[in-house]
Amino acid sequence: MRYLLVEDNLELAEAIASRLAMDGHAVDHAASLAEAEDCLATADYDLILLDVMLPDGDGRAFLKRSRDRLEVPVIVLTARSRVSDRVDALDEGADDYLTKPFDFSELEARCRAVLRRRGGSARNEIALGAAVFDPMAGTLCCGSSTVELRNREIRLLEVFARHPGQILSKGQLMDRLFSHDAEVTENAIEVYVGRLRRRIEGKGVRIETVRGLGYRMDTTAP
Amino acid sequence: MTGTGSIGRRLTFLLAGVAALLSVLSWGMVTGLALEAAERTQDNVLAASATTIAETLRSEQGQVQLELPYSAFAMLGAISEDRVFYLVTAGEEMLTGYPDLPVPQLGPPSPGRVVFDTGNYRGAEIRMAMLTRLVLAGAQPVPVTVTVAQTRNGVDAITGELSQLAATLAVAFFLVAVALSFFAARTSLRPLNEIARAVSRRGPSDLRPLRRDAPAELAPLLAALNRLMARLGQSIQRSEDFIAEAAHRVRTPLATVRVQAEIALRSIEDEAQRRRLRQMIRAVDESSRSAEQILDHATVAYRTDDLARDRIDLAELARQTAKALEPTAAMKDIELRLETEPAEVAGDAVLLDSALRNVLDNAIKYSPEDTTVRLTVSTDGGEARMAVSDQGPGLGEGPAEALTERFRRGSNTEGIVGSGLGLTIVDDVLRAHGGRLELGRVKKGEGACVTLVLPLA
Ligand SMILES: Nc1ncnc2c1ncn2[C@@H]1O[C@H](COP(=O)(O)OP(=O)(O)OP(=O)(O)O)[C@@H](O)[C@H]1O
Ligand SMILES: [Mg+2]
């Protein structure tokens, strides 16, 4: 995915960009509305993350101005909730909003919901051997058969898909799957891996257990 | 005059008071004029009568003679039924009449002029006219005095009648004047009432200046009102801006901390350090949640002070709020199941959304993964019921109502971020809308069932 991040706080922007890059996303950063306009004129994005308070104006005013010509979904980053904010970002044309500070798994979940609503684009598809995985739509297609995966299964499969052939430890999988306030045991990972295995059986994708180390995806199976 | 009371009533009383004064005055004047007119008429007739009698005076063989003409008394009888007395004296000697009639003592009478006086005779008030004439009796001119008197009952009767008539008219005038002044007060105060209505009809946050035609006297009031609203708007705007700026300044660095901690969590293998990082993230979430809920709680209090009363379909509201929380539920693979029927209520959509959001947030937060949260909207006997039930641990043993207290958290919150203000906000919103919060458990299950009850519009 390619994100446009419009945020004037450089430290936060840098942090968000590296965090998204860890998941294999590309991020362009704009520190002001003017820069954002330039970026939008030169590149295509899958999603815009828009801060509401920017040095050259209100992010919502920008949304209002450019909503008609903007094809890209927008998630607004705000410091206030819907109740305490007199102007509702959703009324101004945002697809969703997140209050700072936010959980990346929540950002992910909201992006997914927005993109699914808007209809994902082909560039999000990942080839896994003979199968095609669309993490946004949450589908895995192999030939004529398609399985629809549930949220956690999608996320689990996506982690494997982003690290083809790599061994992933249970700890690594846990960080990517659960928000950090939930006390989860490594048992839960076993449960989810087991469930995912059953769901994608016969689609040419297998998750194998690497004893003592974790799991690895194998896409070469017939 | 004091500053309290009604201007309308004061104006009415003032105008009515003036009308009363004018009524009494006019009554007095009419009565006075009537009395004067009646007296003058009586005087004229008395004078004419005396003159007629005096006309018949003549001297015969040195003696003054007279004839009492019938007409002299007839004309007196014509004006009323009053008793008539007379006395004619020539010098010191009485010629005819009532000798004890108290003739006016007005110095030496001047011949040919009629003198009037009032006195008492036989127990009644009388009016007298006296005329002196010189009659030649022999060689000597003798002054002959003719006095004609009449009681005053007729005059009194006429003035009484007229005065009564005048009084009736005055009372009628007074009543009409009171009605008119009431009407006048109402009409002249109408623009004031219209301004008041226009102001009170407005929504809680509508501070636009009033644009309406007002009488010249009210223009300063209107201008002052508009200036006040502008100032109020400005100061609200300023504090809004301040809160927005403060929230932004505090939360942006917090967001940086949280993201950096997440990144570090990815790259660090050591379990002890990872636990520290998780604690750090928790602390960030804890402080940000508290700040958010405290600000929301304050905003709710402010908004319920002057509650908006828009028509809201709870089914639609439930759909939208559920949609907004769908991704949060999906993170835990929780299914949000919605069953709605239309239910219209009057209220503030932002507040009701916030209430439902807090309840749904709890259901998702306290439920285990892979469960179902059910949201139903139904109507029941004039009430709309929005029920959220989950398959979580339930509300615990203690009295559930205590959970609506400020900063009160249950015993099942181990490891779950929260401020304890969620249900307080819900309760406040529902109370402001004339509704109530029902906390219970799901039938045949462990989970919590939280119901928002609101009166139907
Ligand atoms: N659906 C639920 N299942 C179990 N317990 C619940 C549920 N809803 C509320 N509670 C209990 O009620 C307490 C008060 O809830 P409340 O929403 O007021 O506070 P909170 O969720 O702890 O904090 P926050 O202000 O962040 O919402 C919670 O701490 C929890 O113990
Ligand atoms: Mg809560």
Contact call for A99 and B292, based on CB within 8 A: yes
B240 part of contact set with chain A, CB < 8 Å = yes
Tens digits of per-residue pLDDT, A171-206? 888 877 765 545 667 788 888 899 899 988 888 888
Q: Residue B107 — very low, low, confident or very high, per pLDDT cuts 50/70/90?
A: low
Q: What is the mean pLDDT of chain B?
A: 88
Tens digits of per-residue pLDDT, A99-111? 999 998 899 889 8
Tens digits of per-residue pLDDT, B364-396? 999 998 899 999 999 999 999 999 999 999 988
* pLDDT value, residue A46: 86
Bridge partners of B85?
B149
Strands A139-142 and A145-148, by their bridges, are: antiparallel
Element (H, E) at B344: strand B344-347
The CA-based angle B324-B327-B333, given to 5 degrees, is 135
- Which of B282, B295, B362 most suits a substitution to test ligand 1, by most atoms within 8 Å of the C-beta? B362
Contact call for B243 and A84, based on CB within 8 A: yes
Q: Residue A121 — very low, low, confident or very high, per pLDDT cuts 50/70/90?
A: low
User: Is A218's pLDDT higher than 80?
Assistant: yes
Task: Output A24 or B50, whichever has higher pLDDT.
Answer: B50
* Distance to chain A for B175, nearest Cα, Å: 57
Do residues B374 and B337 lie in contact, with contact meaning Cβ atoms separated by under 8 Å? Answer: yes
* DSSP characters over A101-127: S--HHHHHHHHHHHHHHH---GGG-EE
Query: Coil, helix or strand for B37?
Result: helix
Per-residue CA distances from A169 to A185, A207, A209, B422 (Å): 13, 13, 10, 37
Looking at 3.30.360.10, 3.30.565.10, 3.10.25.10, 3.40.50.11750, the CATH number of the domain B308-457 comes to 3.30.565.10
* pLDDT value, residue B369: 85
Nearest CA to ligand 1 atom 20: B420
Domain A2-118 sits in CATH at: 3.40.50.2300
Q: Stretch A58-67: mean pLDDT, rounded? A: 85
User: Is B138's pLDDT higher than 80?
Assistant: no
**Matching CATH topology for B7-159 and B308-457?**
no
Domain B7-159 sits in CATH at: 3.30.450
* Distance to chain A for B350, nearest Cα, Å: 6
Domain ranges, ordered by start, for chain B: 7-159, 202-306, 308-457
* pLDDT value, residue A175: 73
A85-94, B72-81, B153-162: which has the highest mean pLDDT? B153-162
Tens digits of per-residue pLDDT, A24-44? 788 999 999 999 999 999 988
Tens digits of per-residue pLDDT, A73-82? 999 999 888 7
User: Is A222's pLDDT higher than 60?
Assistant: no
Domain A125-218 sits in CATH at: 1.10.10.10
Domain ranges, ordered by start, for chain A: 2-118, 125-218
Share of chain A above pLDDT 90, in %: 30
Q: Residue B70 — very low, low, confident or very high, per pLDDT cuts 50/70/90?
A: confident
Q: Distance between CA B374 and CA B390 in Å, rounded?
A: 6
User: Is B1's pLDDT higher than 70?
Assistant: no
Q: Residue B300 — very low, low, confident or very high, per pLDDT cuts 50/70/90?
A: very high
A109-113, B191-195, B293-297: which has the highest mean pLDDT? B293-297
User: Is B258's pLDDT higher than 90?
Assistant: yes
